[in-house]
């Protein structure tokens, strides 16, 4: 690999990891398994090691994730909350021991081996034995104060038993039992609400709810396993700490092992693996900790993780079964996805009869055929995936799968035309078959479900089943039609079958009506995302929503036209460059003319960058601009806008035309004392300003916080005024 390729790959991997971090930590709604995530991070770490010139301190391999969300007070941890390094095999575990033995000059080391609880990390503070607060890990040094929510946990003692230290941070994990997870999801399913993928996400989603009464309805549990800051010190080792936590009356892990040497640790991990399915909490690995606290201090920690502990991750559960058939689902964008229909098999505690096959290319690549014995894996997501087939045990005559033939060349739902398209889907890039009929009922139902999903307008109650029913019965064509469905109609819908009816009910219907009314007031960014505009994902919707005042403005956006203009000028610039390979200059005269033309084009591009496009992030590129403008000019787009207008729905962007920062460009750098970067940006945009990622002569102010780096230096060098958070607040009045 060339350094340039490596750099490009590193940038791509960092962006991917950041995107998955956001979904895991903040939205509690991951899209890939932990295993897949770790694999991405490892790939990144390996590249950074091979190409140290591209390693940076802010790479996700060097820091703790960030789980902070808006609405909670932030509190600093007295001792930083770190993450753990992961290992996946015995050799890596032994290497961990060898490192410690080398650092400490002896290999006679005692460890504890504990279950790695798959929950959400918290830090509890007890003063003089009394519980005072609970804070999430956040960014490691400061997290969100979730005390009110943690107080709903019945098993959490408000006071420690026996003698307690003056001041102590006790760390642990919040989780939901599998039974409680299933109870809540069943309740949600009955109410037509979106389901949570797994107990961990539901626990994380719950703790980050602002409404504690709602939290109290879900029985969260907690288990404690380590110390942060403690004054005075009360124990000398992890083994003693486990006993002390129990003596204080805190919930602790059901089993842990104290062992001597790495052989015993490895044996304990094996035993833990056999026992873990019987634990109350989900366990995705073992944590091996050097027990002696003096030794822990001696080896210390990196910015991200202690050197004295390591997580050994168990492989995701797999099972083998027979592939009985492949059915095709049509999603909200019309993409046809193959689904494996399996002989039911028990996997990670539940019976599985369907699994995802991702796409046709993957089926070919893995050579999976109907009739095959296949291996399936469940790694946290709702839908398990097919890992591989066993061609050696293939029944005679099993044919290669051909999606086009399987659907008879038409959309299996609406019978419409299908075509091969390029997709940059979330989990797979490549080519797929797509139903071209925007009015296909599967697409309509998909869009309606998405419109109502938590991350869009959060109209709880309209999940997949309800959405399909509303479309099937002709009540909804486009998502905004939901507003025209009367309460009585919603209440009397039968979501079951004729033989086994399941009437939606008035209580649930009333909830939908309340939620759809509340959604009217949501900002432009949410509506834009909810309307499934092609190529406009959550981040893009946020960026666009903050730069336009209304959907009508966006439909004819001068900013998006400027993005297209810039791309056009850029292409022309490339073509006209005298050294252009495809269009080399023909004579000296031609060369001179084109040089001049290029200078003019450069000036035009620079003017756009400094004007209409100042502070516009790379997310809003020509592909997005073309998609959004085309969509709002198309018949379906115009139909949507007209329906919203008729309903009196006119979501507002946060843009201010005039404010203290009108015409000003700000750059944010470092960590601000209380505002999150996102919140600061929001305030600046609301005051008419723009936020840019790099400092130049055009920058009006640099807003600097702690650990500001090169941007601050650049500001000083260029004489750009530097302000802090207090000054920003003063300027905003």
Enumerate the active-site residues: 116
* Beta pairing partners, 422: 431
Work out whether 203 is an interface residue with ligand IVH (CB under 6 A).
Answer: no
Work out whether 67 is an interface residue with ligand IVH (CB under 6 A).
Answer: no
> Considering beta carbons, is residue 82 or 613 the nearer one to ligand IVH?
82
Tell me the closest approach of the beta carbon of residue 108 to ligand IVH, in angstroms. Answer: 23
> Considering beta carbons, is residue 250 or 620 the nearer one to ligand IVH?
250
- Helix H, strand E, coil C: the string for 501-531 is CCECCHHHHHHHHHHHHHHCCCCHHHHHHHC
The single-letter DSSP state of residue 169 is E
Starting at the edge strand found earlier in the chain, the sheet holding 167-175 runs 130-136, 120-127, 167-175, 221-231
Q: What is the distance between the alpha carbons of residues 586 and 592, in angstroms, rounded to a whole number?
A: 11
Task: Write out the DSSP string of 107-166.
Answer: S--EEEEEEEE-SEEEEEEEETTEEEEEEE-TTSSEEEB-HHHHTT-TTS-SB-SSS--S
Rg of the chain over all Cα atoms, to the nearest angstrom: 28
Tell me the closest approach of the beta carbon of residue 448 to ligand IVH, in angstroms. Answer: 37
Residue with tokens 């460890």: 111
List binders of ligand IVH among 589-628 (CB under 6 A).
none
Size of the site for ligand IVH (CB under 6 A): 14
Task: State the residue number with the nearest CB to ligand IVH.
Answer: 121
Is the CB of residue 317 less than 8 Å from the CB of residue 347? yes
Tell me the closest approach of the beta carbon of residue 170 to ligand IVH, in angstroms. Answer: 12
User: Would you give the binding string for ligand IVH spanning residues 328-367, x where CB under 6 A is met?
Assistant: ----------------------------------------
- Residues with Cβ within 8 Å of 148's Cβ and at least 6 positions away in sequence, in order, are 212, 215
The interface region with ligand IVH, picked from 23-31, 109-117, 418-426, 717-725 by CB under 6 A, is 109-117
Length of the chain: 733
In the set 41, 68, 116, 664, which binds ligand IVH (CB under 6 A)?
116
Q: What is the distance between the alpha carbons of residues 349 and 80, in angstroms, rounded to a whole number?
A: 36
- Residues with Cβ within 8 Å of 31's Cβ and at least 6 positions away in sequence, in order, are 20, 23, 426, 427
> Considering beta carbons, is residue 67 or 180 the nearer one to ligand IVH?
67
Tell me the closest approach of the beta carbon of residue 72 to ligand IVH, in angstroms. Answer: 18
Work out whether 174 is an interface residue with ligand IVH (CB under 6 A).
Answer: no
User: Would you give the binding string for ligand IVH spanning residues 249-288, x where CB under 6 A is met?
Assistant: --------------------------------------x-
Is the CB of residue 224 less than 8 Å from the CB of residue 252? yes
Q: Hey, how many other C-beta atoms are within 10 angstroms of the C-beta on 694? A: 10
Work out whether 65 is an interface residue with ligand IVH (CB under 6 A).
Answer: no
Tell me the closest approach of the beta carbon of residue 437 to ligand IVH, in angstroms. Answer: 45
Q: What is the distance between the alpha carbons of residues 637 and 633, in angstroms, rounded to a whole number?
A: 6
In the set 114, 292, 543, 681, which binds ligand IVH (CB under 6 A)?
114
Tell me the closest approach of the beta carbon of residue 311 to ligand IVH, in angstroms. Answer: 5
Work out whether 524 is an interface residue with ligand IVH (CB under 6 A).
Answer: no
Work out whether 225 is an interface residue with ligand IVH (CB under 6 A).
Answer: yes
Preceding peptide of 232 cis, ω within 30°: yes
User: Would you give the binding string for ligand IVH spanning residues 300-329, x where CB under 6 A is met?
Assistant: ------x--x-x------------------
The interface region with ligand IVH, picked from 112-120, 322-330, 473-481, 619-627 by CB under 6 A, is 112-120
* Residues contributing to the site for ligand IVH (CB under 6 A): 82-84, 114, 116-117, 121, 173, 225-226, 287, 306, 309, 311
């Amino acid at each position: 690999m060339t350094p340039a390729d490596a750099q490009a790959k590193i940038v791509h991997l960092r962006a991917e990891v950041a995107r998955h971090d956001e979904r895991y930590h903040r939205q509690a709604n991951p899209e890939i398994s932990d295993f897949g995530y770790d694999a991405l991070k490892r790939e990144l770490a390996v590249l950074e090691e091979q190409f140290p010139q591209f390693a940076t301190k802010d790479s996700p391999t060097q820091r703790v994730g960030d789980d902070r969300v808006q609405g909670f007070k932030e509190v600093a941890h007295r001792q930083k909350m770190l993450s753990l390094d992961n290992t996946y095999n015995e050799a890596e575990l032994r290497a961990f021991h060898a490192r410690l033995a080398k650092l400490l000059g002896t290999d006679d080391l005692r460890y504890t081996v504990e279950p790695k609880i798959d929950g959400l990390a918290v830090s509890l503070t007890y003063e003089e034995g009394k519980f005072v607060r609970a804070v999430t890990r956040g960014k490691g040094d400061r997290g969100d104060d979730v005390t009110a929510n943690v107080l709903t946990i019945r098993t959490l003692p408000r006071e420690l038993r026996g003698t307690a230290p003056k001041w102590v941070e006790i760390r642990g994990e919040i989780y939901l039992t599998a039974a409680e997870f299933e109870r809540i999801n069943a309740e949600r399913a009955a109410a037509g609400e979106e389901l949570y993928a797994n107990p961990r996400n539901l626990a994380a989603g719950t703790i980050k709810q602002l409404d504690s009464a709602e939290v109290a309805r879900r029985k969260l549990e907690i288990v404690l396993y380590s110390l942060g800051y403690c004054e005075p010190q009360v124990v000398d080792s992890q083994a003693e700490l486990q006993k002390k936590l129990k003596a204080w009356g805190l919930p602790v892990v059901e089993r842990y092992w104290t062992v001597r040497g790495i052989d015993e640790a490895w044996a304990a991990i094996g035993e833990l693996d056999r026992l873990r399915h019987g634990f109350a909490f989900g366990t995705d690995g073992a944590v091996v900790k050097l027990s002696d606290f003096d030794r822990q201090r001696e080896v210390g920690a990196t910015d991200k993780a202690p050197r004295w502990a390591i997580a050994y991750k168990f492989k995701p559960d797999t099972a083998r079964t027979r592939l009985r058939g492949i059915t095709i689902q049509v999603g909200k964008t019309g993409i046809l996805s193959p689904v494996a229909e399996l002989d039911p098999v028990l996997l990670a505690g539940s019976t599985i009869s369907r699994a995802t096959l991702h796409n046709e290319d993957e089926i070919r690549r893995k050579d999976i055929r109907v009739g095959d014995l296949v291996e399936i894996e469940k790694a946290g997501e709702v839908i398990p995936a097919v890992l591989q087939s066993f061609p050696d045990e293939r029944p005679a005559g099993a044919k290669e799968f051909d999606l086009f033939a399987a659907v008879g060349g038409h959309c299996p739902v609406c019978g419409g035309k299908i075509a091969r398209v390029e997709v940059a889907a979330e989990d797979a890039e490549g080519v797929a078959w797509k139903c071209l009929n925007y009015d296909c009922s599967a697409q309509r139902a998909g869009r309606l479900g998405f419109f109502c999903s938590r991350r869009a307008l959060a109209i709880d109650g309209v999940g997949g089943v309800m959405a399909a029913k509303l479309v099937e019965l002709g009540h909804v064509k486009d998502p905004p039609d939901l507003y025209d469905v009367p309460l009585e109609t919603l209440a009397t819908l039968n979501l079951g079958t004729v033989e086994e009816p399941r009437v939606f009910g008035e209580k649930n219907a009333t909830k939908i009506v309340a939620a759809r009314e509340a959604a009217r007031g949501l900002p432009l960014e949410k509506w834009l995302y909810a309307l499934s505009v092609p190529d406009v994902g959550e981040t893009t919707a946020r960026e666009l929503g903050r730069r336009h005042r209304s959907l009508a403005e966006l439909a004819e956006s001068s900013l998006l036209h400027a993005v297209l203009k810039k791309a056009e000028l850029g292409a022309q610039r490339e073509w006209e460059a005298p050294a252009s390979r495809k269009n080399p200059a023909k004579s000296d005269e031609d060369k001179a003319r084109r040089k001049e033309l290029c200078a003019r084009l450069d000036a035009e591009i620079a003017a756009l960058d400094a004007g209409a496009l100042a502070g516009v992030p790379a997310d809003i590129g020509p592909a997005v601009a073309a998609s959004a403008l085309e969509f709002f000019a198309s018949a379906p787009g115009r139909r949507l806008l007209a329906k919203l207008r008729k309903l009196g729905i006119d979501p507002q962007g946060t843009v201010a035309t005039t404010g203290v920062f009108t015409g000003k460009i700000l750059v944010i750098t470092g960590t601000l004392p209380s505002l999150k970067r996102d919140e600061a940006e929001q305030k600046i945009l609301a005051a008419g300003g723009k936020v840019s990622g790099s400092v130049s002569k055009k920058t009006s102010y640099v807003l600097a916080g702690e650990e500001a780096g090169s941007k601050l230096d650049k500001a000083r060098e260029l004489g750009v005024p530097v302000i802090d958070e207090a000054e920003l607040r003063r300027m905003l009045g």
